[in-house]
């Protein structure tokens, strides 16, 4: 399945960043997950329609409340696992 893999760098340590991503992903009808991977970085894997995935990418680049997003790296990938729903890890 076509998926979007993203690494977000910035002020992502606070729990509200993961919740913010989760809320937007659910509203956009996306499946996948988001998690913090190290200080100042979060990783996402999102699956869904192209419009929803592009919108999520734009929202991340704009940043959520008090996130201070410095960089968003995004890559389209083929991913064998198909997720049902979106989760915070």
Rounded alpha-carbon distances, angstroms, from residue 36 to 50, 59, 70: 24, 18, 15
pLDDT computed for residue 38 by the predictor: 85
So what's the pLDDT on residue 46? Answer: 98
Q: pTM for this one?
A: 0.90
Q: In angstroms, rounded to a whole number, what is the distance separating the alpha carbons of residues 41 and 36?
A: 6
- Pick the closest to residue 21 from 49, 50, 45 (CA basis): 45
Which CATH number characterizes residue 41's domain?
3.30.70.100
> pLDDT tens, position by position, for the chain (89 residues)?
689 999 999 888 776 889 999 999 999 999 999 999 988 899 999 999 999 999 999 999 887 666 678 899 999 998 889 999 999 99
Number of domain units in the chain: 1
State the pLDDT at residue 2: 80
Q: Which domain holds residue 26?
A: 2-88
Structure tokens at 31: 């499946």
């Amino acid at each position: 399945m076509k998926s979007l893999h993203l690494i977000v760098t910035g002020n992502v340590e606070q729990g509200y960043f993961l919740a913010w991503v989760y809320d937007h992903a659910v509203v956009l009808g996306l499946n996948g997950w988001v998690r913090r991977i190290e200080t100042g970085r979060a990783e996402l894997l999102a699956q869904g329609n192209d419009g929803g995935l592009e919108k999520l990418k734009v929202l991340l680049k704009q940043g959520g409340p008090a996130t201070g997003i410095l960089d968003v790296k995004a890559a389209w990938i083929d991913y064998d696992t198909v997720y049902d729903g979106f989760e915070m890890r």
